[in-house]
Homo-oligomer: A and B are copies of this chain.
Amino acid sequence: MPRAGLTTERVVAAAADLADEVGFENVTVSALARRFGVKDASLYSHVRNLGDLRTRIAFLAGGEMIDRIAAAVAGRAGKDALAAFADAYRAYALEHPGRYAATQIRIDQALVAESPALRRTAEITYGMLRAYGLTEPDLTDAVRLLRSTFHGYCALEATGAFAAPRDVRRSWDRAIDALHVSLTHWPPEEEPHD
């Protein structure tokens, strides 16, 4: 019998495709084995367990995503860069819902710290904000605001939470406009009252 030629990389890539097709939470070792025409026990030579498989999908997706964002942002600054970042972010989330969902799982902080992709993501995000002239801690606050809005919008859109008869793409553009306004008129921090 010829072998399927499994490797960790190929298994994870197939798992990511599977996630996009059936949803991240429906990625199962058995289904993945079926896809390769192999018994499920065979996959445990390449992946420690289901949790390991999931985090590997997450890192794969995180790398792919930041590559696309970086390419979109390159050579732009200010609102131009913001819009390019945002559009690349949302495009990836819509094209690869399963992969995108993987990027939202809780991951061991030690693994995160030594991930080149996540470091690169932070660099590019902070770099994109440079034109707005913010300094710490405003910079971190602004990054958190952007991440929240981007992720929240994509998550809600993906679950069909935007039911109103208004084009979802238009609302997205307006959200970017609004964020740009916030960043250019970044409010000074008030002393915490009472």
Q: A residues touching B (Cβ–Cβ < 8 Å)?
A: 25, 104-106, 109, 112, 137-138, 140-142, 144-145, 147-153, 155-156, 159-164, 166, 170-171, 173-175, 177-183, 185-187, 189-190, 192
Contacts and interface: CB of A to CB of B under 8 A. Distances in A.
Given A137-B166, A145-B178, A148-B149, A106 B159 contact: yes
The 7 A-B pairs with the shortest beta carbon distances in the complex, nearest first, are A152-B152, A148-B152, A178-B182, A148-B153, A151-B152, A141-B174, A177-B187
Given A152-B147, A152-B148, A141 B109 contact: no
A101 to B, nearest CB: 11
Nearest to A145: B175
A69 B162 CA distance: 20
Contact of A174 (B105, B162, B170, B189): B189
B159 A151 contact: no
Contacts of A153: 144-145, 148, 152
